[in-house]
């Protein structure tokens, strides 16, 4: 998966780009296409990557078939 790491406080124009894309000055931010996850939220990041087609969605416990009752 291609990515670009940006150190917003070290690279010219990076702070302006971050605020333009996300509306806030907060890090970390993961941008996928035109959508983003702000802060460290692994569940939101996995959901975003799955929705954008980068990974297969993981099935949750509630997705398992329920065995028939006897």
CA 8, distance to chain mean position in Å, is: 18
Torsion, CA 51, CA 57, CA 63, CA 64, rounded to 10:
170
pTM for this predicted structure: 0.67
Q: What are phi and psi of 36, to 5 degrees?
A: -150, 160
DSSP SS3 for 35: strand
pLDDT at 61: 53
How do residues 1-11 score in pLDDT, each as one tens digit?
Answer: 889 999 988 99
Domain ranges for the chain, please list them.
1-56
């Amino acid at each position: 998966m291609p990515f670009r790491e940006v150190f917003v406080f070290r690279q010219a124009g990076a702070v302006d780009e971050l605020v333009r894309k996300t509306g806030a000055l907060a890090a970390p931010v993961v941008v996928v296409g035109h959508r983003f996850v702000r802060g460290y939220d692994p569940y939101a990041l996995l959901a975003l990557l799955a929705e954008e087609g980068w990974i297969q969605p993981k099935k949750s416990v509630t997705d398992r078939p329920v065995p028939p009752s006897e």
